[in-house]
A = this chain, B = another copy of it.
Amino acid sequence: MRGEAVAVDFGVTPFDGLPLPSRVTICEVGPRDGLQNESTVLPVEVKAEFVDRLVDAGHTVVETTSMVHPKWVPQLADAEDLLRMVVPAPGVRYPVLVPNERGLDRALDLGVRDIAVFGSVTETFARRNLNRGVDESLEMFAPVVARARDAGIGVRGYLSMVFGDPWEGPVPTRDVVAVATRMMALGCTELSLGDTIGVATPGRVEDVLDALVASGIGIDALAVHFHDTYGQALSNALTALRRGVTRFDTSAGGLGGCPYAGSATGNLATEDLLWQLHGLGVETGVDLHRMVDTSIWLAGRLGRPSPSRTVTAFAG
Contacts and interface: CB of A to CB of B under 8 A. Distances in A.
A72 interface: no
Contacts of A4: 166, 262
Given A199-B10, A207-B13, A5 B166 contact: yes
A228 B276 CA distance: 12
Interface residues of A, number: 60
Kindly report how many copies of this chain are found in the complex they form together: 2
Interface in A227-247: 228-232, 234-235, 238-239
A73 interface: no
B5 A262 contact: yes
A147 to B, nearest CB: 36
B1 A166 contact: yes
Q: List the 3 shortest-distance A-B pairs measured between CB atoms, nearest first.
A: A201-B279, A231-B309, A231-B272
27 contacts: A4-B166, A5-B166, A5-B199, A8-B164, A10-B170, A10-B199, A10-B200, A10-B201, A10-B204, A12-B203, A13-B204, A13-B207, A14-B203, A198-B313, A200-B279, A202-B238, A202-B280, A203-B279, A204-B279, A230-B275, A230-B309, A231-B275, A232-B276, A235-B276, A263-B313, A265-B309, A265-B313
